[in-house]
Structure 1
Amino acid sequence: MLDALGAAADRPVFEHGDRAVTGAELLDLVARVAAGLRAAGLGPGDGVGLLLGVDPEAFAVVLAAHVVGARVVGVRPGLPEVQVRHLLGLDVAAVVTDSGARYGPRALDVGALCATRPEPGPLRLAGRPDDVARLIHTSGSTGTPKACAQTYAAMAAGWAARPSAWPPAIRELAPRLARHLVFGSLSSQVMFEYAVLAVAAGGTAVVPDSPALPDAVVRHRATSSVITVPRLAKLVAAQRRDPADLSSLRALMVSGSPLAPDRHREALEVLGPVVFHGYGQTETGMISMATPTDPPGSVGTPPPAVTVEVRDGRGAPVPAGVDGELFVRTPSQARGYWGDPVESAEVFTGGWVRTRDLGRLDAAGRLHLTGRIRDVVIVNANLHHAGPIERVLAEHPDVAEAYVVAVPDEDTGEAVHAFVVPTAGRVPDPAALRALVTERLGAACAPARVTAIAEPPLAPSGKPDKRLLPR
């Protein structure tokens, strides 16, 4: 990535409002922040937490933390305070912030780091291959985010910043990222990797004043953006109703949840050949990507560097065309969950990552997703386990039992629907239950609907069968 910035020289690589930052200027920021981190005593193996927005300085801080060999722990906006403190308690030596917020004993200000005098000579890269380079978090079965631990060796094996290693779908996508919209948080693996890819491809990462589409595309003459399935549906509907000038748009990378074939076809029909449908996990990085020429409903052909095996319930591989659980190996996969050996042993097994997603490979080698084994709800492309939500609901004195399922939602892709068995003589208040879940787990986990039931439906085994609840 540093080589890409050096090669960019006077070409703008980051655009933020009226400000354009060249490759040379961003490289200078990286050098300054790296010097500031070293002056603070931070180096190989030290945990550095990031509470930052989306701007050139935040991008420079991420790169600089890797320059000094630190273990980067990013925190995405909108997490409840208890989860923020959990993440920043994962053996973090210092927290870099642009808001003045203080967590733990050491807080480093971005402005001060960027004002540090850089060390003379070329940047000293201190990352050690077997050290953990970053903890990328997702929601976990305990109700607190799980942190996927990716080593420096695994991060270096990723292809985003290395054009020579780009798989076919990325080679087709990369030239379309000339003006790529970056929003949300650089703590998002998807957002950060696409920003890196855009710069490596000779493009510019553009931070919009508002990420709303189609306005952001029109205002910034953007050529590409990441988009969730619900936002894609809204964009397609808006274009049918009142078309905006999207002539600059060349790529929309659909991420976060599967795209139904009918919705995929409609998006291609209305927006043109700009839809790229990616499939990956925090644990693995990108697994596969469909280009605009792939059949709607598939997520493309896994690249040669990625191995996908479809297995039956006994763990045996199944032939093409047969559904099963997806097991994956990628060059940049995490080595486990930080501080969670039990969950790590279940998911990271024998060199494979157990995705707990269901799918099949067709005769042409394309991957199709058909469901998931995990008991989760995906809200705005973020994964939330049902178990923690059920446990919080069951703590309320008016609730004897709680069962959570995912239901389709036009705004968020999926939403939480809670089925509760009331405590005898009590009537649960849905608003109070939503408030409790919001306080403990965040608004995304709060039930969009609450239904009182006398008892849950049972499977033949006698256990509650949540699959029957939506009926």
Structure 2
Amino acid sequence: MHDSAESAEPPFPYPLLEALRTSPGGTAFEQGDRRVSRGELLDLIGRLAAALRDAGLGPGRGVAIRAGVSPEAFAAHMAAHALGCRVLCVRPGYTPRLLAHVFGMDIDAVIIDASTATPELFQAAGPATMLSLGPVAGAADLLEHPGDGGPLQVTARPEDVALLIFTSGSTGEPKGCGVTYRALGAHWSWHPRNWSPIATALAGSFQRFLLFGTLSATVILDYVMLCLLGGGTAVIPEEDGGPLFPYAIERHRITGSVMAAPRLCAMLDVLRDERVDVGSLRAVMVGGSSISAHRLTEAVERLGPVVYHGYGMTESGLISILTPDDLARFPDRAPASVGPPHPGVEISVRDEEGRPVPTGRTGEIHVRTPYLMAGYWGRPEETAEVLRDGLLRTRDLGHLDENGLLHLVGRIRDVIMVNAMVVYAGPIERVLAAHPDVAEAYVTGAPDERTGEAVHAFVVPAAGRAPDPGALTELVRADLGADSVPRTITTVSTVPVAASGKPDKRALLEQYGPAES
């Protein structure tokens, strides 16, 4: 979230620890009736670091964390980083096979809590030391450690991998993207004078940040960090219904949060029918998945000039960001874009030969960021395919317009082979979502005896509308041609969300099947 400075920065997580030391009396976390002060959080990080050190962990050692959202889970992340460990962010919902896969990446210890302690997880952990946040049978309770009484020393080494962040694994096994401590130091400058204007604005808006989902999602962890660095409070809701709908925003007077497009759209649907006070909001970051232009415009109309839209990748972090100022300056073009490059990020759009293309022409998006991954853990060949001369091949297609806004067109990887012809899902989704009867559109492919693969579309209707599959079919045919026409178009009321927070197209296909249009 911050511009990189040329001078050497103190190692991560020094910036956070220093911020907690300078204002120990403020509230860091709020969870129900519980309040954890910034000083208490700092003490908790120090105590957990001492416990981890006594468990034999330190620079270069691998620690997997699979715990619920809590102050203790966040503190465990920061304690492991203070020691210089390589931290694995383990998403919920992994099958036993995938757990064994990620735990097989040179892991020395696994940290769990009562909410995640399953027999499958223990079995997948293999010989790794089992540690817990609270009492769990078969694991050593880190919270019982009294601490060593000394000041917390950061022993991270700049070139060591600090984080292994996993790709979604929509095809094959998830890959671990290694981000070094040097990259995290560039990402989280310890002094506000090095922050970008966008980071400064967001930090000021995250004084009461709605924290939900999973800390294994780096987009969540990033914005919790920004909240705490800016002196804010992370609010963990406990009520049923929680953050998916706007009631938690009203109840807790939330000023900022981050959510994927399906969650934002669900919130907008509630606000259309119910009177809920969300006037406390000052920033809502939409990330993790694309959102249609008219839904983004609706969000601005209902919530006010508080909506941000971020585009990024696991491998690169944040690439571009659409701000309220961008939406106000370019009301006709900005909602269909993902904004200009984030400060400190270089975007280059290139053709199939790797040559830069002119403004306005579509090509593959290449990026260079201060917090780019060092590579895929244990996969040098695949790393070489996407990282060249410090540039990352995103495998996304798009173009930069004359205003510097980035427009996504499709994904090289998100393709459907129809009669041996390459069909991109992204353009079909945009055509469908542009119809006034459609609020959201999702397109995927499935095996087909006649054409190899066939296109299948799922649409969420706009309020009070009933999409006509025939009309939608002709719209796609006229705009993109016959090969892109969906074999089936299914109307659904809601869209399942994967553990990553992104729309789960595979679950849509499994749940509804390729129903006839």
Q: Does 1:57 align with 2:81?
A: no
Q: Does 1:144 align with 2:183?
A: no
**Cα pair 1:34 1:64 within 8 Å, conserved:** yes
Name the residue aligned to 2:506: 445
**Matching of residues 46-445 of structure 1 within 5 Å:** 46-99=61-114, 100-101=117-118, 102=122, 103-105=125-127, 106-111=129-134, 112-140=141-169, 143-159=172-188, 162-209=191-238, 210-294=242-326, 295-375=334-414, 403=453, 407-410=457-460, 445=506
Q: Return 5+ residue gaps in structure 1 as ranges.
A: 379-385, 412-442, 453-469
* Residues paired across the two proteins, number: 411
Deviates more, 1:256-265 or 1:69-78: 256-265
Q: Secondary structure at the match of 1:310?
A: strand
Name the residue aligned to 2:470: none
For the residues of structure 2 that align with 1:55 and 1:363, how far apart are their CA atoms? 45
**Cα pair 1:9 1:22 within 8 Å, conserved:** yes
In the TM superposition, residue 405 of structure 1 has moved relative to its aligned partner by: 5.5
Deviates more, 1:134-143 or 1:257-266: 134-143
Cα offsets for 1:116-175 (capped at 9, x unmatched)? 222233212111111111100013476211110111111111037653332222222221
**Cα pair 1:70 1:133 within 8 Å, conserved:** yes
Cα offsets for 1:224-252 (capped at 9, x unmatched)? 11122122222222212223111111111
For the residues of structure 2 that align with 1:61 and 1:306, how far apart are their CA atoms? 30
Give 2:350's aligned amino acid: R
Q: Return 5+ residue gaps in structure 2 as ranges.
A: 1-15, 135-140, 327-333, 416-424, 427-443, 462-503
Q: Secondary structure at the match of 1:150?
A: strand
Q: 1:168 to 1:180 in 2, by over 3 A?
A: same
**Cα pair 2:279 2:303 within 8 Å, conserved:** no
Q: 1:279 to 1:80 in 2, by over 3 A?
A: same
For the residues of structure 1 that align with 2:200 and 2:314, how far apart are their CA atoms? 22
Divergent runs of 4+, >4 A: 399-402
**Cα pair 2:179 2:371 within 8 Å, conserved:** yes
Q: Secondary structure at the match of 2:151?
A: coil
For the residues of structure 1 that align with 2:452 and 2:307, how far apart are their CA atoms? 39
For the residues of structure 2 that align with 1:195 and 1:450, how far apart are their CA atoms? 38
Q: Secondary structure at the match of 1:145?
A: coil
For the residues of structure 2 that align with 1:316 and 1:404, how far apart are their CA atoms? 32
Q: Secondary structure at the match of 1:354?
A: strand
**Cα pair 1:325 1:358 within 8 Å, conserved:** yes
For the residues of structure 2 that align with 1:406 and 1:18, how far apart are their CA atoms? 47
For the residues of structure 1 that align with 2:96 and 2:251, how far apart are their CA atoms? 34
Cα offsets for 1:52-101 (capped at 9, x unmatched)? 01000000000000011111012111222211221112110111111244
Give 1:181's aligned amino acid: L
For the residues of structure 1 that align with 2:293 and 2:170, how far apart are their CA atoms? 31
Query: When the two structures are superposed, what TM-score results if normalisation uses the length of structure 2?
Result: 0.74
Match of 1:16 among 31, 34, 38: 31
In the TM superposition, residue 322 of structure 1 has moved relative to its aligned partner by: 1.7
**Cα pair 1:168 1:303 within 8 Å, conserved:** no
Q: Secondary structure at the match of 2:244?
A: coil
Give 1:166's aligned amino acid: W
Root-mean-square deviation (CA), in Å? 2.8
For the residues of structure 2 that align with 1:45 and 1:444, how far apart are their CA atoms? 37
Q: 1:355 to 1:306 in 2, by over 3 A?
A: same
For the residues of structure 2 that align with 1:297 and 1:165, how far apart are their CA atoms? 30
**Cα pair 1:161 1:196 within 8 Å, conserved:** no
Name the residue aligned to 1:427: none
In the TM superposition, residue 403 of structure 1 has moved relative to its aligned partner by: 3.8
**Cα pair 1:326 1:356 within 8 Å, conserved:** yes
Q: 1:352 to 1:231 in 2, by over 3 A?
A: same
Match of 2:51 among 25, 36, 54: 36
**Cα pair 1:298 1:366 within 8 Å, conserved:** yes
Give 1:369's aligned amino acid: L
For the residues of structure 2 that align with 1:267 and 1:322, how far apart are their CA atoms? 29
**Cα pair 1:160 1:197 within 8 Å, conserved:** no
Name the residue aligned to 1:434: none
Q: 1:410 to 1:65 in 2, by over 3 A?
A: farther
For the residues of structure 1 that align with 2:216 and 2:104, how far apart are their CA atoms? 16
For the residues of structure 2 that align with 1:341 and 1:137, how far apart are their CA atoms? 16
**Cα pair 2:49 2:82 within 8 Å, conserved:** yes
For the residues of structure 2 that align with 1:157 and 1:302, how far apart are their CA atoms? 17
In the TM superposition, residue 409 of structure 1 has moved relative to its aligned partner by: 4.8
Deviates more, 1:160-169 or 1:59-68: 160-169
In the TM superposition, residue 298 of structure 1 has moved relative to its aligned partner by: 2.3
**Cα pair 2:312 2:318 within 8 Å, conserved:** yes
Q: 1:409 to 1:148 in 2, by over 3 A?
A: farther
Query: When the two structures are superposed, what TM-score results if normalisation uses the length of structure 1?
Result: 0.81
For the residues of structure 1 that align with 2:456 and 2:343, how far apart are their CA atoms? 34
**Cα pair 1:327 1:352 within 8 Å, conserved:** yes
Deviates more, 1:132-141 or 1:194-203: 132-141
Give 1:314's aligned amino acid: E
For the residues of structure 2 that align with 1:141 and 1:344, how far apart are their CA atoms? 18
